Structure 1
Amino acid sequence: MKRALILALACGMAAGLQAQQVKQKAGNPVFPGWYADPEGIIYGNRYWIYPTYSAPYEKQVFMDAFSSPDLVNWTKHPRIIDTAAIKWARRAMWAPSVIEKDGKYFLFFGANDIQSDNEKGGIGLAVADKPEGPYKDYLGKPLVDKFYNGAQPIDQFVFKDADGSYYLIYGGWRHCNIAKLKDDFTGFVPYEDGTLFKEITPEKYVEGPFMFIHNGKYYFMWSEGGWTGPDYSVAYAMADSPMGPFKRIDKILQQNAAIATGAGHHSIIKAPGKDEWYIIYHRRPLTEKDGNSRETCIDRLYFDENGLIKPVIITKEGVDKSPL
């Protein structure tokens, strides 16, 4: 009896220890549900992920957000914005990009999936007093509602440069534009030649732009291939300026046929005070054929001694706990 009790206690302790060890890893996906186009950011002492609610366009009428103190334990913040708050948006709200400025939280989004200049929709902007919202329409109309340089007004990313300037980088249909935002985000500052939108499209660009600075270099990243197919992937370029020119270097994120397909439309975050970089992206489980069956995952991002990005190893385990 005593031996059985000791054995039971030992098994219990082992199980508890195992559970504790498991909890040290986030696991992929990092939270349940179909979510895509995730943008990660750090606000204060929490990591945040703002994804697209992955569903048919007619049902894609709201957005949720998720926050975590350590990349492992995530809290869902439901319906931080929806089409009831954005009167001109009726469907296909996607690819949120977020930033804090002067104590306000701004959320850029695409809506309506417009196919021409004659349709209502494009890139909008919402504002809130807290990261979790609720977000309200900032302009009462789209910020970008036309096709400039052939770029569909979708897949927006707001980039803060080292000098404090803010840029909107966006574009679908294999074209990407960069525009300098006014200080109050109500419009754009013209370039020296009077234009508002400069094309910076690199080779094989399709959609999903993202930019960050590392060791003084501008890293420009984007998605290639078709979003519903297994060839969806992420490539990058480097330059000395956010204006480029950007020459494609290599593909660094793609499917692993043993784990998941369609890995793409990503964002990058860096842990403050540490040389730890993470890539947040969506992918499709091997069991799923529906184009909207996409899940949000996180894996590590590494650089080599020359500052080039190493190919990302996508995992089921995800990343280690990293408290802020």
Structure 2
Amino acid sequence: MCLAISGVAQKDYSGNPVFEGWYADPEGVIFNRQYWIYPTYSAPYEQQVYFDAFSSEDLTRWTRHSRILDTAAVRWAKKALWAPAIVEKGGKYYLFFGANDIQSDQETGGIGVAVADSPQGPFRDHIGKPLVDRFYNGAQPIDQFVYKDGNEYYLIYGGWRHCNIARLNDDFTGFIPFADGTVFKEITPEKYVEGPFMFKKDGKYYFMWSEGGWTGPNYSVAYAVADSPLGPFERKGTILQPDPAIAYGAGHHSVIHNAGKDEWYIIYHRRPLGETDRNARVTCIDRMYFDKAGNILPVKMTFRGVKRSKVKP
């Protein structure tokens, strides 16, 4: 089901949050000249049994696409559907997700993948089991991100202060070992906690993540840079932090680049002032800028959000 909803000051600016409801861990992406956001439904774990998605042509008017995937379509997933990541390949849309919040290799869960014929789904389980169901290199199998570099697709993921990278095979049913025979390489940068994201700009690989505790006031986003998606990564610093005048708990982000206009956006969640429930998180968007040397400038959180802008080819 699709439902058109409006943001604050929708005529000129997106407003923050960009849509109503408790949503976190937003994955932002452009498909078919539309902006899409795929967030976690922020609720107690037992209630996190589905994903909604949101689409917009101009960042100000958003349409909710309800229950694009739920546990009824994934038999092994029971709770804690987290942090969707999506990629298009060959006319199909692949949605990667975490489920069940497993705490050991003896539990069922981890990172799954679903597939659909359109960005709004409905999605169905792609392989009938988790794609990653073990703690490799100490990384909890959550917080997945898929990065396309040329013709290669990488799965980058990990909680519990460890981050792995692995090469996906052609149909996203498994992995291709690296030249040394390993499947999961640890690329954990300094102070990493969770929520990895990667993009490439001017020949450099920018690796971003969240640090601090997601339930605490000091959740924030930092980044590092390398010459390869495998690192080694040089930490540059923190670029999104709490603002006592705006919100706390700002983190678990993604980045959208409207290449036709060279506009960069950071999509993230934050906890409104006065909210103490750990699940009281909202999805927001602000501009992201670089200096002449390519460093990411500190992001200023706003209530206004970003100016209306359509995708330019």
Ranges in structure 1 where 5+ consecutive residues have no aligned partner: 1-19
Which residue in 2 is equivalent to 1:82?
Answer: 70
Ranges in structure 2 where 5+ consecutive residues have no aligned partner: 1-7
SS in 2 for 1:266: strand
Q: Is 1:52 matched up with 2:36?
A: no
SS in 1 for 2:136: coil
Contact 2:101 2:109 in 1 (8 A): yes
Q: 2:160 aligns with which of 141, 157, 173?
A: 173
1:192 is displaced (CA, Å) by 1.4
Q: Is 1:43 matched up with 2:31?
A: yes
1:287 is displaced (CA, Å) by 2.2
SS in 2 for 1:307: coil
Tell me which structure has the larger Cα radius of gyration: 1
Which residue in 2 is equivalent to 1:139?
Answer: 127
Mapping 1:108-123, distance limit 5 Å: 108-123=96-111
Mapping 1:242-253, distance limit 5 Å: 242-253=229-240
Q: 2:274 aligns with which of 287, 294, 310?
A: 287
Structure 1 runs (4+) greater than 6 angstroms displaced: none
Which residue in 2 is equivalent to 1:183?
Answer: 170
Q: 1:22 to 1:131 in 2, by over 3 A?
A: closer
Identity over aligned pairs, percent: 71
1:255 is displaced (CA, Å) by 0.9
Which residue in 1 is equivalent to 2:148?
Answer: 160
Which residue in 2 is equivalent to 1:8?
Answer: none
- Whichever residue aligns with residue 255 of structure 1, its letter is P
1:274 is displaced (CA, Å) by 1.4
Q: Aligned partners of 1:323, 1:197: CA distance in 2, in Å?
A: 38
Over the aligned positions, Cα root-mean-square deviation in angstroms equals: 1.0
1:315 is displaced (CA, Å) by 0.2
Q: Aligned partners of 2:301, 2:195: CA distance in 1, in Å?
A: 19
- Whichever residue aligns with residue 253 of structure 1, its letter is L
1:272 is displaced (CA, Å) by 3.0
Q: Is 1:71 matched up with 2:59?
A: yes
Q: Is 1:304 matched up with 2:295?
A: no
Which residue in 1 is equivalent to 2:220?
Answer: 233
Which residue in 2 is equivalent to 1:94?
Answer: 82
1:79 is displaced (CA, Å) by 0.3
Q: Aligned partners of 1:296, 1:27: CA distance in 2, in Å?
A: 11
Q: Deviations over 1:126-151 (max 9, x none)?
A: 00001000000000000000000000
Relative to the length of structure 2, the TM-score reads: 0.96
Q: Aligned partners of 2:161, 2:258: CA distance in 1, in Å?
A: 31
SS in 2 for 1:58: helix
Relative to the length of structure 1, the TM-score reads: 0.93
Q: Is 1:105 matched up with 2:96?
A: no
Contact 2:9 2:15 in 1 (8 A): no
- Whichever residue aligns with residue 55 of structure 1, its letter is A
Q: Is 1:209 matched up with 2:184?
A: no
1:65 is displaced (CA, Å) by 0.1
Q: Aligned partners of 2:66, 2:172: CA distance in 1, in Å?
A: 26
Which residue in 1 is equivalent to 2:18?
Answer: 30
Contact 2:246 2:303 in 1 (8 A): yes
1:21 is displaced (CA, Å) by 7.1
Which has a greater percent of strand? 2
Q: 1:222 aligns with which of 209, 220, 245?
A: 209
1:203 is displaced (CA, Å) by 0.7
Contact 2:133 2:141 in 1 (8 A): yes
1:88 is displaced (CA, Å) by 0.1
Q: Aligned partners of 1:70, 1:81: CA distance in 2, in Å?
A: 25
Q: Aligned partners of 1:206, 1:155: CA distance in 2, in Å?
A: 10
Which has a greater percent of helix? 1
